Amino acid sequence: MKQVYFYKLYERLWHWIQALAILGLLSTGLTIHFPSLCQLGFVHAVTIHNLLGFILVGNAFLALFYHLTTGQIRQYLPQPRDFTTQAVQQATYYLRGIFRNEPHPFQRSPLARLNPLQQITYLAILNLLLPLQVLTGLALWGAQRWPGVIDALGGLPILAALHTLIAWLFAAFLIGHIYLTTTGPTPLSNLRAMIVGWDRIEENHGNTEPQVQRL
């Protein structure tokens, strides 16, 4: 095992800001959706929700800029070659190998942090769910400024329904995401890596090379 510097300071900062924003958005969103659940008060919940929404959007744009300019964006792009085979390998590991203490099919490295299932999941979240959630959220926030646009998009009943559905899906993703952080060498090693930046990987691993080469 050797210590590798996985996450730079900005990447960790971005991740945790996003994590806190999403947690805050989900909890305030729940308060707005079910006002009787929380004593925070409707108006406070709306104000905080809007603020966190803009923080999330701002943070996402900064991260996009960072990932584009540093080339890190490629980590999120699944490679068509052997993708299905590798995804099946990863799924098989989660369904069987993990219980037998088999090694991860793909060794993580600073240049290849994500396995094929993570890549496809993030691709869907970052390109579909997040933009849709941001757009519907912006539409709800801006309903008073652009009523015509909002009506053309189906009005609040449709936009709010879509926003709520995606929020539920984000909540489900969050649970899965947090759980999967425990599938590292130790249950807390991935979490620790996202906090301090350093992680431990095996020195020799058969499947590391192809992903590194692709990058």
Partner 1 sequence: MKRLVSVIGSLLLLSHAAAAEKSMHPAFKLLDAQGQSVVTAATPVSTMRTCGGCHDTQYIAEHTDHGGHGQQPKPEMNCFLCHLPNPDNAARLGEVQAGRSQWAATATLATTGAVKKTAAGWTWNQAAIGPDGLIRPDFPRPVPPSSTHCGLCHGQVHKGSAPLVLQHDRGNRITDATGQVFAAQRLNDSGVNLTDKDNLARPWDVHAERLLECRDCHYSLNNPAHTAGAEQTKPAHLRFESRKLTPAEYLLRPDHSFANGHAETKRDGTMRRCESCHDAAVSHSWLPFPQRHFQAMNCESCHVPQVYAPARQQVDATVVDLAGNPLVSYRGISGPLGASTSLVRGYSPVLLPRQETDGTLKLTPHNLITSWYWVAGDASQRVSDAALKQAFLEGSTYHADIVAALDSNRDGQIDASELRLDSSQKVDAIRRRLEATGLKNPRIVATIQPQSLHHGVAAGRWATRQCAACHSRSSRTSTPMELARYLPGNVMPTLASNANVQLSGAFSHGASGELIYTPRPLNSGRYVIGHDRWLLIDLVGLLAVAMTIAGVAVHGGMRIRAARKRSNP
Minimum distance from residue 126 beta carbon to partner 1 (Å): 19
Sketch the per residue contact string, 6 through 45, with partner 1: x for CB under 8 A, - otherwise: --------------------------xx-xx----xxx--
| Non-local CB neighbours of 192 within 8 Å, separated by 6+ positions | 199
- φ, ψ for residue 151, nearest 5 deg: -65, -40
Minimum distance from residue 185 beta carbon to partner 1 (Å): 13
Give how far the C-alpha of residue 208 lies from the chain's centroid of Cα atoms, to the nearest Å.
Answer: 23
Q: Are 164 and 33 in contact (CB under 8 A)?
A: yes
Minimum distance from residue 176 beta carbon to partner 1 (Å): 5
Structure tokens at 163: 């926003």
- Window of 54-62, 65-73, 109-117, 176-184 that interacts with partner 1 by CB under 8 A: 176-184
Residue 148 makes contact with partner 1 by CB under 8 A: no
β-pair partners for 199 = 4
Minimum distance from residue 158 beta carbon to partner 1 (Å): 9
Given 101, 152, 204, 213, the residue binding partner 1 (CB under 8 A): 101
* Rounded Cα–Cα distance for residues 136 and 142 (Å): 10
- Window of 58-66, 81-89, 169-177, 207-215 that interacts with partner 1 by CB under 8 A: 169-177
Q: Give the ranges where 71-154 is alpha helix by DSSP (H).
A: 83-95, 116-124, 130-141, 147-152
Counting DSSP H helices and E strands in the chain, the numbers are 9, 2
Binding region for partner 1 (CB under 8 A): 32-33, 35-36, 41-43, 46-47, 94, 98-101, 140, 143-145, 147, 155-157, 160-161, 164-165, 167-169, 171-173, 175-176, 179, 182
